[in-house]
Amino acid sequence: MLQLMPREPEISMRSGLAGALASDLESGDVLIALLGEVDEVSADELRDQAARGVGIVLLIEDGDLFELPKVMGLRAGFVRSSSVNEYSLRKAVAAAADGGAAVPEELAYDLVRFAGRHKAPPQVRLRLTPREQEVLVLMVEGMSNKQIARGLQISQNGAKRLVANILAKMDCNNRTLAVSRALREGLYERYAHARPAAP
């Protein structure tokens, strides 16, 4: 599927996650791995790689949702392996290469249901600015910082700063958790409804 992408990336196959992590990954590279292969040690290594600018995409097998806590705090995109197609893979890889994280809508709802089964912390009233509310809606819709910047006609650094503010205010370590919380608490519907219509 990767070879069918418009700009064919250089593809390097490794034997398992350990082999991929042992290779010389650079900022802008994208590592695709199965969530089921991730253990505590490799999760820490993935966090280190993400901090160095390596994009991470995790393929989730059916029944793997219970393994999500081990990748808490990891900025990564997620794709359900049973429904992966050229479009979803291209979107996930492009978002990861831009420093973002794509989560398909159907998987986002599964994540919300999964999170709902666990005891949630007491609700805290969020004080997001109108601009941050707009950005949160775009995050839920799967947009990268670059796409958010383009859509709101602001700089990419401005978009990055707004996303960081949202993550801090929502007490979330990564975009996936923020999206999950926004869906679970009805923030997406509230803010999307209040968003001004595009000209």
**Residue 92 near residue 57, CB atoms below 8 Å:** yes
What are the pLDDT digits (tens) for 5-25?
555 445 555 666 776 777 777
The predicted pLDDT at position 121 comes to 46
Pick one of 1.10.10.10, 2.40.50.100, 3.20.20.80, 3.40.50.300 as the CATH number of 104-199.
1.10.10.10
The count of C-alpha atoms lying within 13 angstroms of the C-alpha of 92, restricted to the half-sphere facing its C-beta, is 29
Element (H, E) at 58: strand 55-60
Distance of CA 16 to CAs 30, 35, 44, 46, 81, Å? 15, 11, 16, 13, 16
Q: Helix 145-152 to helix 156-170 angle, to the nearest 10 degrees?
A: 110
Each residue's pLDDT tens digit, 64-114: 766 777 777 777 878 887 777 777 777 777 777 777 777 767 677 776 666
pLDDT at residue 122, as a whole number: 44
Q: How, if at all, do strands 77-80 and 55-60 pair? A: parallel
Instruction: Identify the pLDDT of residue 157.
Output: 93
Spatial separation of the C-alpha atoms in residues 172 and 53, rounded to whole Å:
19
Contacts of 9 (CB under 8 A, 6+ apart): 2, 30, 93
Banded pLDDT at 195 (limits 50, 70, 90): low
H-assigned helices in the chain: 16-22, 40-51, 86-97, 105-116, 130-140, 145-152, 156-170, 175-184, 187-194
Task: Look up the CATH number of domain 2-102.
Answer: 3.40.50
pLDDT at 196: 59
Q: What is the mean pLDDT of residues 57-63?
A: 79
- The secondary structure of 98-113 as a DSSP string is TT-----HHHHHHHHH
Examine the pLDDT at 119 and tell me if it is beyond 50: no
> What confidence tens digit (pLDDT) does each residue in 23-58 have?
777 777 888 888 888 888 888 888 888 888 888 888
pLDDT digits (tens, 9 = 90+) for 121-173: 444 467 889 999 999 999 998 899 999 999 999 999 999 999 999 998 998 88
- What are the residue ranges of CATH 1.10.10.10 in the chain? 104-199
